[in-house]
């Protein structure tokens, strides 16, 4: 373990992984509360379109993906508020379309396919020193925003109509949550990849839900399980030469099933 921690690239991976793990765990609380798992899946698929666009245009892929995914999330949020198209339908139409666009763009540039594998499956061990600070700032700002509006987002998640009736700015809060989700998903693509990132936005809160008896407890368990998944997943990846993203998600899933088994025993 000491040798594992002595390498600079492992240290970078741990710092960014732990920060992203906390961010994903906190957002997973709202994803589970608002039953937005499908939104997470859709946004992660849309991120592929942004990554492909960035690769094709020579722009930083993650920046392009963030702008593209936030844009798509806003269109879906706007459609939900202004038209009779349901959020589910809008996601079902827009996100696969964005992914299909990504696939077409990638097919036009075969040279980039190798890069693409890292985005599809993630490789936190390849995080460069230049990427650590922006990812850390992103996580700190995101967590600060969630903390600042936690009560409001909770009320909105439980009873949107009553929250609106109480004078809370429901539309702005919904767009804030969608934006944070979109940006976090794109950031977490480095951690677990486009294909697996949506799992990391559901499993930590589901583990917390299975074990905790209070909302605070659920949040704490979600964060701890997420951190354990990152550390254990990275260590397994290092030890057995496994893909880091898949190892992290598998550890997370093992923790969830363990929590579920314990909850059933207690019940």
Partner 1 sequence: MSVPAVLLDGVSASYEGHPALEDVGFQVPQGRFAALIGPNGAGKSTCLRLLLGLVRPTAGRVEVFGHPPLTGDSDGVGYVPQKVTIPRGLPITAQDIVLMGRTAARGPGRLPSRRDRELAHTSLDQVGLADLAARRFQDLSGGQQQRVLIARALCAQPRLLLMDEPTAGLDSAARARFYALVCDLQHARGLTLLCATHDLDVVGEHADSIILLDRTVRAQGTPAEVMSGGRLEQAYHFPAHHVHQDHAAHGTDPTATSGTS
Sites of contact with partner 1 (CB under 8 A): 32-33, 35, 84, 147-149, 151-152, 154-155, 158-159, 161-168, 209-210, 212-215, 217-218
Q: SS3 for 253? A: helix
Residue in the block written with tokens 């190892």: 247
Spatial contact of 124 and 231, defined as CB atoms under 8 Å apart: no
* Nearest approach, Cβ of residue 156 and partner 1 (Å): 9
* Nearest approach, Cβ of residue 66 and partner 1 (Å): 25
Q: Helix 244-266 vs helix 215-240: angle between axes, to the nearest 10 degrees?
A: 140
CA distances for 218 relative to 29, 91, 173, 205, 267, angstroms: 8, 28, 22, 7, 17
Return the DSSP state at 59.
S
Closest CA to 174 of 36, 29, 19, 26: 36
Q: SS3 for 104? A: helix
Closer Cβ to partner 1, 118 or 154, answer by number: 154
Q: Please, is 19 exposed, middle or buried when counting C-beta atoms within 10 Å of its C-beta (0-12, 13-18, 19+)?
A: buried
* Nearest approach, Cβ of residue 45 and partner 1 (Å): 23
Q: Which two tokens stand for residue 93?
A: 């139409």
Closest CA to 263 of 184, 220, 224, 207: 207
Closer Cβ to partner 1, 30 or 235, answer by number: 30
């Amino acid at each position: 373990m000491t040798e594992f921690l002595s390498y600079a690239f492992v240290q970078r991976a741990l710092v960014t992984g732990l920060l992203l793990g906390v961010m994903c765990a906190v957002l997973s609380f709202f994803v589970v509360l608002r039953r937005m798992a499908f939104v997470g899946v859709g946004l992660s698929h849309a991120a592929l379109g942004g990554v492909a666009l960035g690769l094709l245009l020579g722009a930083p892929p993650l920046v392009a993906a963030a702008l593209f995914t936030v844009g798509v999330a806003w269109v879906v949020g706007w459609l939900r508020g202004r038209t009779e198209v349901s959020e589910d339908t809008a996601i079902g139409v827009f996100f696969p379309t964005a992914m299909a666009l990504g696939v077409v763009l990638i097919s036009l540039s075969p040279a980039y396919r190798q890069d693409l594998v890292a985005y599809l499956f993630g490789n936190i061990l390849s995080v460069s020193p230049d990427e650590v600070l922006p990812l850390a700032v992103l996580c700190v700002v995101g967590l600060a925003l969630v903390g600042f509006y936690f009560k409001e987002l909770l009320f909105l998640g439980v009873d949107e109509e009553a929250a609106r009736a109480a004078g809370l700015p429901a539309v702005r809060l919904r767009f804030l949550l969608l934006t944070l989700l979109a940006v976090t998903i794109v950031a977490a693509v480095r951690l677990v990849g486009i294909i697996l990132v949506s799992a990391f936005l559901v499993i930590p809160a589901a583990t917390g839900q299975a074990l905790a008896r209070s909302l605070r407890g659920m949040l704490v368990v979600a964060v701890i399980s997420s951190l354990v998944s990152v550390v254990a997943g990275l260590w397994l990846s290092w030890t057995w030469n496994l893909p880091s993203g898949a190892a992290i998600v598998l550890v997370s899933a093992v923790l969830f099933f363990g929590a579920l088994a314990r909850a059933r025993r207690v019940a």
